[in-house]
Chains A and B, each alone.
Chain A
């Protein structure tokens, strides 16, 4: 069964600190993996996208890694800001069917 699991479910960190979010998937055949940021009451916005051959991808303070062998990805946020408070969703695409498989998200709260 195609599944995407994220951990932790929620996280609270102090402003300026770093954090890492995890994503494990069983989606096959794998096409690519994206991390989205969703602010409360808004639609998700893409942060990074990685294909099978890519191990790491950065977007400013966000760095995503992918291990296609173990089917794991992480999103590392450096020097967190209050505006980073949001839900972060891992989305894995397959080459068949309805294409996108969503994790349940990690709710990140950055406090001053």
Chain B
């Protein structure tokens, strides 16, 4: 089935550690996004990529890094520089970024710092 797969569903991190969240899509979409969702707040954009080997910072990129070496994959690394990483992380993709396309979301990864 076509879609977006995020893994793992739950992730626990010790303070000072880097962790990487996986996002894979088989929809042949050019654009991919990472969002962070906190209780009572709307989704906030961390990074986005319009095309392979290109990515741009979103509104809250500090403490995060990404790569886009393959069209299908857009992993997010939460570094030790992110002071409050506990949150629900959502990956999304769309055909392009013209504004007329729908964003399809993965099932999310819940990251908890222990």
A residues apposed to B, CB below 8 Å:
4, 31-32, 34, 36, 41-46, 49, 51, 89, 91, 93-96, 98-100, 102-105
Contacts and interface: CB of A to CB of B under 8 A. Distances in A.
Nearest to A105: B42
A51 B56 CA distance: 27
Contacts of B88: 41
Contacts, number: 59
Contact of B48 (A41, A44, A98): A98
22 contacts: A32-B100, A41-B88, A41-B110, A42-B107, A43-B4, A43-B90, A43-B92, A43-B107, A49-B102, A89-B42, A94-B99, A95-B99, A98-B45, A98-B56, A98-B58, A99-B48, A99-B94, A99-B99, A100-B33, A100-B103, A103-B42, A105-B42
Interface residues of B, number: 29
A4 B41 CA distance: 12
B108 A41 contact: yes
Contacts of B110: 41
B84 interface: no
Contacts of A49: 102
Sort A-B residue pairs by CB-CB distance and give the 3 closest, nearest first: A43-B105, A31-B99, A102-B42
Nearest to B105: A43
Nearest to B107: A43
B98 interface: yes
B40 interface: yes
Contacts of A31: 99-100
Contacts of B105: 36, 43-45
B87 interface: no
Contacts of B99: 31-32, 93-96, 99
A43 B100 CA distance: 20
